Structure formats: C-alpha cells, structure tokens
Structure 1
Amino acid sequence: MSLAIITGSTGLVGSETVNFFHDKGFDVIGIDNNLRKFFFGKSSSTDWIKTKLIKRNKNFKNFNIDIRNFIGLEKIFKKYRKKISVIIHCAAQPSHDYGKNFPFLDFNINATGTLNLLELTKKFCPDAPFIFMSTNKVYGDNPNKLNIYEQKTRWELKKTDKNYKGIKENFSIDNATHSFFGVSKTYADLIVQEYGKNIGLKTVCFRGGCITGPNHSGASLHGFLSYLVKSSLNQRKYNLIGYKGKQVRDNLHSNDLVSCFWEFYKKPRAGEVYNMGGGRYSNCSIIEALDLIEKIAKVKIKRKIIKTPRVGDHIWYISDTSKFKKHYSKWKQKYNTKKIIEELIDHQK
C-alpha cells in the first residue's frame, strides 16, 4: 500500500489532499497540531475538519506534531520509510500581519519546518516526490509596479500588456517589499528548489494565488474568499482594506489545486516551480466578490473602506498557469469564481 504524508492536514489544502489521495487508495499520514487556532483564535480552529477526516477516511491517521519538531517528524519518517510514496507539504504560518508581529515563529515554521521535511525526505525516502505549497508572495509587491489602471470595480492591465494573461514564473522576486511572511516562504520555496536542482529530489513549488474552498477556516488575517463570505453573511458588513477594495485576486478551488498535485505525482520533475491560481478563468476584485455574494445570497452588505493597505499586498495579481498546462495537459479547472462563491454560501447555510 502506498502512503502519503501530508502536513497541514486539517487546513484547507491539506484536508482536500487527504480526501483526494485517500480516495486514490493511499494510506494517509496527516501532520497537524492546529496552530491555526493559536494564530487566529478559537473560531479558526481546524478540529472540526480533523473530526470529518477521521470519520470519512478509514486509512487516515493524524499526528499532533509541530513541523518545527525534527525529532518528532523523524520518528514518523523512520517508521514508514519504505512505504512513503509522496510528501505534500501544506503546513504554514499563513498571515502577513502575524508574521510581522512574530518574525521568529513565522520563520521557524515556514522556513525551518520546510528544511526539516526536506532533510527527512532525503534521508528516508529520496525517491518520493516532494510537493510544496508555496505562495505568490515570493514576488513581494513587484506586481504593483505593473502598468495597472483603475476601472469601475477593479484595477486592471491593458489586454496588450505582456502580463495581461498573468504573472509568469520568471517574474522578479528581487527589489521588493515581501512582508515577513513572504520572506519566510521565499526561503522555503528556494530551498525546495535547491533540493531538487542540487541534490536531485523530485521537488515542486506551487506558488498559489488565493486558494479557497468550503474546508477553509477563514479569518480576518487570512482566507480571503472564505472569510469574506462568512463575514458578509453573518455580520452583513465587510472592511475593504486598501486600494478602494478594487484589488484583484485570482481564485482557485482547493480541489482544482489538489488535482495539480496528482498530475505532478504521476510524472514528477526535479526542482520545478509553477504559478498556480485561478488565472483569467477565475478572478475577481473584492468589490466584485461582494457584489456576487449580494446577488446570489440576496443580502445587503455594509462596506467600510480603509485607506491604508496591508504591507506587501497586491493591487492586481493573476497567475499565468500556462507552464503547468504545457507540462501537464490533462489538468482542467472545474471551478470559476462564481461557482466557488456559490459553494461557500451553501456551506454557510
């Protein structure tokens, strides 16, 4: 029996990955100690997801281990070494604001935790693909330097702009403000590449845009669409922080993302990088998302605009996914933004 190790197993992407690989016939080891509750409070606890996962998946076991705990991780890798077929690393400290306030914790989780997992993969299961959930924040605020212009409901690029279809993987990560979170994830991203290109492990970095879905325990500091829907429906109000609420995000359903993992697992490469988001197929501004919620849920949402943006926040970001599609032509997106929001609204009922 093949075995998948999934970190952040009770988070949005991790839980979707647990279900997907379990349904493919894998035994699944989850590593998650619910730090999200520690970061963002009780309402963001992922215990409810862990309960669902255990009930749904008979060959799933979750270990309450922190990825900073090398010795704890080593016991698992040593025990299952011959069975491990894939490592999917989704665990992280995911917030700009939290990382700025607690830089040591942020770096140790995102950077050192990733290094721990790479070393253990090299030692115990070097043939297993290592899939890392990176972020578009590795580009810092460089996307804000594009020729962005203002429209009624969004910021946008002209169709003649070379970046109109989205940001490519060769976009610069230098000379930018990243946020502390962005810096710690950039180290993790680069070290994952290095273990592929330098040592030969089958590693990949998926630089995600806004990943979303019903398993997201959205909080004000992290989880754009999930928190937006939850806050809008429950409180009937939402704060638009910076850029008049016209900043654009591409939105990728966690199920579409995990199907990317599957394609890579079947045909892995060494030290690869892919920008992975909704692309031109699935994107919206915050204002457009609120308009959609009002229309679909038939509610009125009070909007408060806060002029000061978050440090390192993107005014416009859309992923160019053409490189992944070229390498893995069977992958297809199932969810656009409207379908994602409809599902999130149904989940809140």
Structure 2
Amino acid sequence: MSAAADGFRMPAEWAPHERTWMAWPGLNPTFDDPATLAASRAAWACVARAVRRFEPVTVVCGPGTSADARALLGPGIDTVERELDDAWMRDIGPTFLTSRDGELAAVDWTFNGWGAQNWARWEHDAKIAGHVSDLAGARTYTSGLVNEGGAIHVDGEGTVLLTETVQLGPERNPGWTREEAEAEIHAMLGTRKAIWLPRGLTADYPPHGYGTLGHVDIVAAFARPGVVVAHHQPDPAHPDHEVTKEVIGVLRAQTDARGRRLEVVEVPAPTALEADDHWSDHSYINHYLCNGGVVLCGFDDPRDELAAGIFRRLFPERTVTLVDARTIFSGGGGIHCITQQQPRV
C-alpha cells in the first residue's frame, strides 16, 4: 500500500511543527578546506539558533563531531551522531507525513547525489532519511523515485510544485514518464494536482558550482493555499530574467487542486548579479517557516528589507528573521535546503 492509500499526506510547511532537523557540515568536496568548513559551520549554527527561537532543533552530526557542534550551536539544540557525506537535510532527510489518526510517517526517497553529480558523495547520505525517520518514531515508506525534499513544495490541500529537469531528468529517473513520476509523487505525498515548472535558476545547473539541476524551492513556494511566492529577476542582463518570466507565466496560468487560480507574489532577486564568479542564484524564496517564525535568507543587499516586508505582509502573525545566507549559497543551497520540518501530530 502507498502512504496516501494508508491515509497519510504531507502537511504544508506552515502547519505546526514538532521540531526541525538539520545536518552538520563535515570536510567533503562541498566544504573542501578548513576555512570553508569553519565558515559553513558558523552559518549553519546561525540558522539553527534562529529556528530554535521558535521550535526544537535536532542536528545530525558525523561521528565524533557533536561536541564541537554543540560548542558552536549553543544551548538548547539537540545533537545525534550518524555517518554523513554532506549537510543538506532538506534533500537527504525524510519527507514527513501525518494522518488524521495522529500518526507520523515519512518518505525515504531514493537519493543519488542530486543526479549523480561528479562532486557529490552519497554513500551515507542515502541512509539518513531512514535514520531520521527511525529517530522520530515515524513509519517509513520507501520510494524508488530519485527525488529530494527541495524538489517538492505542497500547499497541504492536494497541490504540489515540481520541476521538469528534476523528477523527469535523465540524471535521476531515466525511463520514467511524467505520468509515472507524478503518480509516485501523489502516492507518497497524498497530493492530486501537480504543477510542473519548466526549469530552475541558471546557477543551479553546470558549470555553475554546486547545483541541484533545478530544485523548485529556490524558484517558487506556497505561502498559503492559492498563493505562491515566486523569484523574479528584474535585470535583463541576468539569464534568470527570462527564466523567471517564464516560470511566473506558468504559475499565473495554473489552478490548484481545488480549482483556485493561483495568486503569484513576485519577490525581486537581490541586486547582485554575480556571486562566486558565476551568475548569482541568491533567492529569498528559499526561506523556512517554523512555529511562529519565518527564517529568511539575507544577503547584505538593498533588497533584503524589501523581501522582509513582503514576507511580513504574507505572514503577519509570524516574526520574520533575516539570516545571512551567502555562505550557505556558496555551498549550493539556502536556508530551506538545510532544514527539514517534522510536523506535529
């Protein structure tokens, strides 16, 4: 039986959380020298502390690293040790589900290093979803679909956002048809309407550093049922100007699972067009919703406060906290990419 057939579904991110899960950076091809590793650990710790203001946080650390992690994380943050390759809990961790009967379950997607990219290592990360699911006491459903948590976004009412270059890309799921991939997503998440975006941001693809080949959570995300926030690159000099125009057009033409025409709230990109010697994919869309809070990517940019204002209007009952995410983006992701919510049951 599938998770959906057993009565489970993925709640929206704004539903109450039991806790947030993160993973601790270790020396690997992403954090490949002591200075980069130290800066990344400091950045991860800042996010963990920002989330901890609103809900419990557990950080999975590599063997023998939890004491050093706790020294940076500070009090009140739990740690556990498991073998790790990288530190992107959104992607290597489980996708949690709940049932109306108050049960917790989780999807353990197949993980292959974001499409078996040459810089990725995933021998241990492919097992993290199962470990975290067990630690949370969840019932685990194993999926044969190669997928990551950053490649999906749900509204909690039956709609899921996907990207054609991820679930349908030959790097992850060769031979899967759109219908087969969509059916598996629905069977695991309890959704019934998929909105496929054509692609992700330019810097999310080779040869631009570390990328995911088009994760949706840097491009578009539900803010509430019927409302989507979308990355908008206003500068015609940036290739994402055309990319985001196309994505926003697709979203505006769509309805959700309940037949509502989507309202699209455009969030302008930061003003810097380049970062780390390539086109920038700095995005405010890659935020994290926690109990009573919005942890928002900051870039020491003139548009940081503009973005914060948009999110304050969207979430008037939540406290919006800007956290510098430039170091995290240098490693290939953002605040949403390093966090994973465990919903309250």
Higher relative contact order (CA 8 A, sep 6+): 2
Higher normalized helix content (fraction of residues): 1
What TM-score, normalized by structure 2, do the two folds share?
0.37
Q: Give the structure-1-normalised TM-score.
A: 0.37
